[in-house]
Amino acid sequence: MKKFVSMFLILAIISVLFITAAADDVHNKRYTVTDASGEETVRFTYSTENGVAAITDVYVFNDNTDLVFPAEIEGYPVKTVREIYFATKERNIRDKIKSITFEDGIETIDECGFDFANNLTSLKLPNTLKEGDFIFRECPLLEYVSVPSSLKEIPEYCFFGCTGLKEVHIEDGVQSVGASAFQGCKNLTDVELPDSVLYIKKFAFESCESLESINLPKNLEYIGDYAFYKTGIEQIRFPSKLKDIEEHAFGYTPLKEVKLPDSLESIGYAAFKGCRSLTKAYIPKGIMNKPNNAFYDCSALSDVTFDGEITKELYNDLTKWTPWGKEYANTLSEDFVIFDGNYLASYKGTDKNPVIPDGITEIAERAFEYADIDSVTFPKTTINEIPSYCFIGSKIKEITIPATVKKVSTMAFYGCESLESVTIEDGVESVADSTFLNCFALDKDKVNIGKSVRVSKNAFKQSALDEDFADMVSDPEATPTPTAKPEATPEPSSTPAPELKTLEVNGADMSISVDGKAVDFPDAKPFVDDNDRTQVPVRAVTEALGASVDWNGAEQLVTISGSGVKILLTIGSDIINVNGKPTKMDTAAAVIDERTYIPARYVAEAMGYEVKFQ
């Protein structure tokens, strides 16, 4: 009986304590800060749980307010500030704040947006801050920021567009600089990155154009997409533990020399694109088999060293984009540059009728780019494909594609303006869209195609034979069917009109029509850019082409999808990616007055449309 009574008393005491604690919790209680005269200056809203407070809102009454988030409110320790969004407040409230201080003791700043505070000049984060999801985006007068060591990651977009920010001090202990954390801080000149930083994520310092130098941490492992894109960095030393540099990471920077570390395991597409002051580079073994067009358009790169013998992948990259590659090719004695005995990288001979050696089973893109040749003879060995751009711009006059070639890829003979004669033998499996694009000298009496060859109806698009081949066997994925000879020629009135696929631009009033139907542009109009190219608002024209559009603001990426075609365009980039194939344009997509514009001709042609201008 005594045990029962004791147990009952213990349970009763616990219940009383629980009820008392619950009774102490408050929700949405207000706490007011006053000045010496008793006037309200700041009002906080807070809640408590288990004896700990969280600030959930703030109201500022006076101009030039020094806003202090206290570490204690009415006897409760404040551990969290959460769900405060300046962007939703009236401008006259957020513009009253001159400085913000978080007192030491606060551990979490969660889901807070202190952005667009146009008069904010000073910020003090607590030394006790452990985690956070907060931004001070587009605070133009903020000049200095210090990030405490207790915070492991600077949140994404944290100081995005703080155009007045000049100096950033990051204390040892921080491990990651979040995506777009300092993107667009165009006056940032001084950044201290401690050795504790392991990751610099995508767009972290993109367009920090005044940032001319930076010391990368010695323990850094990862540099994300566009991390230092269009910064002012002229020289940089890569740490010995760096493993990954992602795409466009240092694009369009004035770097002069690059020594990539031997620890590097991967490099992203066009990582150093457009670095036209870059003259010297060292390339480690780890990326020689997968250089990924890292030095795209590095037009001054003439001094390259690498670890070991050059690979076919590195050769293709450097000959395509740098003067070093072209000079290296000229030092080789053979007419054909061949790797591994079976891979034809390029032709650099003077014979106008070269014969590809037996044993070749693979040919590189652009292998005969701009070659001064009349014809090419293929080997007896099986070649899987003639790749895209293989003969781009060459002077070739005739070509016989034998049965040993299995397929011919899109734009393989693009711009071969002297090409008159084409024979494609039975045994070739397929000829893709736009294979003979801009081949204006083709003679239909000299074009012979085997009956079993699957030819895309757009294979001869925008060539001398465009109309003649519009009704040839359907696209390469279709099963070939022998064409029966008609018993009689149908009357003209019974012949169906070919399907219209035309985009027309009227230069007089900048109107656009698709298949004869005018495109309506309700709030933004087409225009002609500095490159004399027609730019059109993306959504209206994309929908008129029967496609859908998706916008990734973080990556500044436009994705257009429809009719089996996927197009990727990055704002400011002169590359259009169509079904995984990058092609250089002579202009770029752009964002103007918060509207996205795309180059009409490139997108329409990629979707299979003919473009006409009036």
Q: Which of the four pLDDT bands, split at 50, 70 and 90, describes residue 202?
A: very high
Q: What pLDDT, on a 0 to 100 scale, did the predictor assign at position 548?
A: 85
Q: Is the pLDDT of residue 135 over 50?
A: yes
Tokens representing 72 are 């204690």
Q: Is the pLDDT of residue 7 over 90?
A: no
> What CA–CA distance (Å, rounded) separates 494 from 119?
74
Ranges 124-133, 501-510, 533-542: which has the least confidence: 501-510
Ranges 199-203, 334-338, 400-404, 540-544: which has the least confidence: 540-544
Q: Are 261 and 278 in contact (CB under 8 A)?
A: no
CATH of domain 502-613: 3.30.457.10
Strand partners, 577: 568, 582
Amino acid at site 117? A
Q: What pLDDT, on a 0 to 100 scale, did the predictor assign at position 423?
A: 96
CATH superfamily of 236-331: Ribonuclease Inhibitor (3.80.10.10)
Q: Is the pLDDT of residue 217 over 90?
A: yes
* pTM, rounded to two decimals: 0.70
pLDDT one-digit tens code per residue, 353-364:
999 999 999 999
Distance from the Cα of residue 220 to its chain's centroid: 22
Q: What pLDDT, on a 0 to 100 scale, did the predictor assign at position 88?
A: 62
Average pLDDT, integer, range 132-158:
94
pLDDT one-digit tens code per residue, 15-69:
444 444 444 677 889 999 999 898 999 999 999 999 999 999 999 999 999 999 9
Q: What pLDDT, on a 0 to 100 scale, did the predictor assign at position 468?
A: 61
Does 541 or 238 have the greater pLDDT score? 238
Q: Are 140 and 162 in contact (CB under 8 A)?
A: yes
Does 9 or 246 have the greater pLDDT score? 246
Average pLDDT, integer, range 595-605:
88
Average pLDDT, the chain: 86
Q: What pLDDT, on a 0 to 100 scale, did the predictor assign at position 498?
A: 41
Are 236-331 and 340-476 equal in CATH topology?
A: yes
Tokens representing 103 are 């007192």
Q: What pLDDT, on a 0 to 100 scale, did the predictor assign at position 475?
A: 44
Position of tokens 């024209």? 541
Q: What pLDDT, on a 0 to 100 scale, did the predictor assign at position 21?
A: 44
**Burial group, residue 390, by CB count within 10 angstroms (0-12, 13-18, 19+):** buried
Q: What pLDDT, on a 0 to 100 scale, did the predictor assign at position 485?
A: 40
**Burial group, residue 603, by CB count within 10 angstroms (0-12, 13-18, 19+):** buried
3-state secondary structure of 24: helix
pLDDT one-digit tens code per residue, 400-457:
999 999 999 988 998 899 999 999 999 999 999 889 988 989 998 999 999 999 998 8
The residues spanned by each domain of the chain are 236-331, 340-476, 502-613
Q: By C-alpha distance, which of 113, 110, 118, 31 is closest to 68?
A: 31
How does 488-501 read in b/e, with b if 16+ C-beta sit within 10 Å?
Answer: eeeeeeeeeeeeeb
Tokens representing 316 are 């293709």
How does 174-203 read in b/e, with b if 16+ C-beta sit within 10 Å?
Answer: bebbbbbbbbbbbbbeebebbebbbbbbbb
Q: What pLDDT, on a 0 to 100 scale, did the predictor assign at position 476?
A: 40
Q: Is the pLDDT of residue 344 over 60?
A: yes
> What CA–CA distance (Å, rounded) separates 202 from 591?
20
Q: What pLDDT, on a 0 to 100 scale, did the predictor assign at position 146?
A: 95
Position of tokens 């990727």? 568
Q: What pLDDT, on a 0 to 100 scale, did the predictor assign at position 142?
A: 96
Strand partners, 286: none
Amino acid at site 129? L
Q: What pLDDT, on a 0 to 100 scale, did the predictor assign at position 233?
A: 96
Tokens representing 74 are 């009415």
Rounding to the nearest 10 degrees, give the CA dihedral for residues 30, 74, 52, 150. Answer: 100
Average pLDDT, integer, range 289-298:
90
Largest CA distance in the chain: 113
For domain 340-476, the question of CATH label 3.80.10.10 is answered with yes
Q: What pLDDT, on a 0 to 100 scale, did the predictor assign at position 523?
A: 73
Ranges 286-295, 423-432, 545-554: which has the least confidence: 545-554
Average pLDDT, integer, range 527-553:
84
Ranges 308-317, 393-402, 605-614: which has the least confidence: 605-614
pLDDT one-digit tens code per residue, 494-527:
444 344 478 888 776 778 888 888 888 877 888 8
Q: Are 385 and 409 in contact (CB under 8 A)?
A: yes
pLDDT one-digit tens code per residue, 385-403:
999 899 999 999 999 999 9
Share of the chain above pLDDT 70, in %: 89
Q: Is the pLDDT of residue 487 over 50?
A: no
Q: Which of the four pLDDT bands, split at 50, 70 and 90, describes residue 4?
A: very low
pLDDT one-digit tens code per residue, 93-104:
788 999 999 999
Ranges 103-112, 216-225, 414-423, 478-487: which has the least confidence: 478-487
Ranges 198-202, 341-345, 455-459: which has the least confidence: 455-459
Average pLDDT, integer, range 165-178:
96
Q: What pLDDT, on a 0 to 100 scale, did the predictor assign at position 554?
A: 67
pLDDT one-digit tens code per residue, 70-88:
999 999 999 999 988 876 6
> What CA–CA distance (Å, rounded) separates 265 from 286?
5
| Secondary structure percentages of the chain, helix, strand, coil, to 5 | 10, 30, 55
